[in-house]
Structure 1
Amino acid sequence: MPKSKTRISKTKSAPVPDGGRARSARKKRSSRRFAELTQTSGPPTSSQTVTQDNIQGPQAMETTPEVQTTSFAASQQTMLPPQSYVTSQASTANSHFRDQSAPQQVLPPGTHPVTPSTAEAELVGQASDKVSIWIVGSSIVKRAGIAARTRQGGKNLNLPNASVWWQGYGGMKLHDLIPKLKSLQKYEDKPNIIIIHCGANNIGHIPIKRLLHLLRNTLEEVVNMFPQTKIIWSCTLPRHSWRFSNKVRAMEKARCRLDRAAIAYITSQRGSFIKHSQFNTKPTQLFEADGVHLSPLGNDIFLNNIQRVIQELSC
């Protein structure tokens, strides 16, 4: 009998689909990656990327927030400046703001800033150096004071160390002098110099003897009121016409007697006097149309005479 040939069929395993191999490879890579991660100490750095592909299970959910928290804290520490730096910057900004809002005083070299006490002392010293002068009288003084304000040097007659107070009253007579001085004392300290130009309006109003007696009593009271003040008599001015009489020559003689009596008493009390000799001949250009008050040129001459005497006494 013929030998039967036994066929041994080689059993072949079913082919593995390609998809299965890919999954198996991914599992192996994932296992190796997980092993590497578990061997490293500490949390992964910001350069390590943690995803669901390389970490499976609950560890992915726990690790991912920790990495995010760590990176956010590191960014905060990097962005925020130190506290000392913030404080120094704030103080610098505040000082800059103060410098801009309050301008600094620029002083010349070698000088010192003036404090309030120093400024007050300087003002007191300047005030004490001034020569206080009262000029009291009739409308002649009133108009002269107005004219002085329009001149160079102003009311102080261009005298840097003088402080002149003009007190002129229209129609003023001798018996008005003492009440006026008492009133002025309420507002100012006693002056260094008093210039009196008064008395012409009394001439012809009362007899000459009574007038001379009134003059003496008035001047004595002035000296007693101001014992430390230098009294200056400003001589009365001639007139083209007089209010109380038409006898111009008689009125001029009475005026001269009045001035001589005043000068005699004032000089005996260490006072002084001012003579306005430019008016003796009564030039018409020095008087107004009424023949009594002074023209602008006459006021300038009158003021120059007063200024010259004050300068002589102040030197």
Structure 2
Amino acid sequence: MASRMQSSGQAHPTVLIVGDSYIRRGEERARTTLGRNLGTCAQIEWLGLGGMRWHSIVPRLMNWLRGRFPPDVLLIHCGGNDLGKLRSVALAAAMKRDLQYLQQRFPKMLIGYSAITQRRCWGPVRLKKIERSRKWVNSEMATFVLGLNGFIVRHDGIRHYMPELFLRDDVHMSARGNDIFLNSFVDCLRALFA
């Protein structure tokens, strides 16, 4: 990690957490609980956008990077809004292609994949069907990202049968759900920088 820190000129490792509304809401929650940097030694930047779909990740990231050093760590949580709209095979292929491009473009940047979490509702798609797709995509991406020498953030504590973890819309997380979600990031980042 030291060589990555020196390449960006920062005293602390830099982390960019990018993704959909879970990231935007997670940042808001983190500010009032753990702090913007999640109580870690890292300098964390957040780039969350409600409704973000996977095809927006690379353009949004490249726009953010203009005039900046790439982060030491890129942590992505996205893809949930694509489930049920894209075939799982097509989604996983796009994710792999984009992550491989990012690794080739920024070889010193460590890439992390935050697993797509369970929800209580996925629009008109049946929960059982979407659960199979979600698990398959997460499994494919875990294998792929680990093959890139990256890391995985799992969210095993977020379960669709626990209504207290979700807001009334059955998609976004309550304060308690957000805390579980963010603590998965904290545990992973602390292990990474230990």
State TM-score, norm by structure 2: 0.91
Match of 1:157 among 19, 38, 43: 38
Q: Deviations over 1:12-44 (max 9, x none)?
A: xxxxxxxxxxxxxxxxxxxxxxxxxxxxxxxxx
Q: Deviations over 1:25-80 (max 9, x none)?
A: xxxxxxxxxxxxxxxxxxxxxxxxxxxxxxxxxxxxxxxxxxxxxxxxxxxxxxxx
Q: Does 1:306 align with 2:185?
A: yes
Partner residue in 1 for 2:3: none
Matches of 1:158 and 1:213, distance apart in 2: 34
Partner residue in 2 for 1:51: none
Aligned residue runs from structure 1 range 224-243, under 5 A = 224-243=104-123
Q: Does 1:171 align with 2:51?
A: yes
Q: 1:183 to 1:282 in 2, by over 3 A?
A: farther
Secondary structure of the corresponding residue to residue 36 of structure 2: helix
Match of 2:87 among 187, 191, 207: 207
Secondary structure of the corresponding residue to residue 246 of structure 1: coil
Corresponding letter in the other structure for 1:260: S
Contact kept? 1:238, 1:282, Cα under 8 Å: no
Matches of 1:263 and 1:287, distance apart in 2: 25
Aligned residue runs from structure 1 range 223-262, under 5 A = 223-243=103-123, 245-262=124-141
Corresponding letter in the other structure for 1:157: L
Cα shift at 1:216: 1.7
Secondary structure of the corresponding residue to residue 266 of structure 1: helix
Greater relative CO, 1 or 2 (CA 8 Å, sep 6+):
2
Matches of 1:158 and 1:209, distance apart in 2: 37
Cα shift at 1:187: 4.3
Write 1 or 2 for the structure with the bigger share of helix. 1
Cα shift at 1:219: 1.6
Contact kept? 2:17, 2:47, Cα under 8 Å: yes
Cα shift at 1:227: 0.8
Cα shift at 1:235: 0.4
What is the percentage of aligned positions where both structures have the same residue? 28
Aligned residue runs from structure 1 range 99-248, under 5 A = 128-152=10-34, 154-159=35-40, 161-243=41-123, 245-248=124-127
Partner residue in 2 for 1:286: 165
Q: Structure 2 unaligned segments of length 5 or more: list them.
A: 1-5
Cα shift at 1:208: 2.1
Cα shift at 1:280: 3.3
Runs of 4+ in 1 over 6 A off after TM superposition: none
Q: Structure 1 unaligned segments of length 5 or more: list them.
A: 1-123
Cα shift at 1:162: 1.0
Write 1 or 2 for the structure with the bigger share of strand. 2
State TM-score, norm by structure 1: 0.57
Contact kept? 2:16, 2:44, Cα under 8 Å: yes
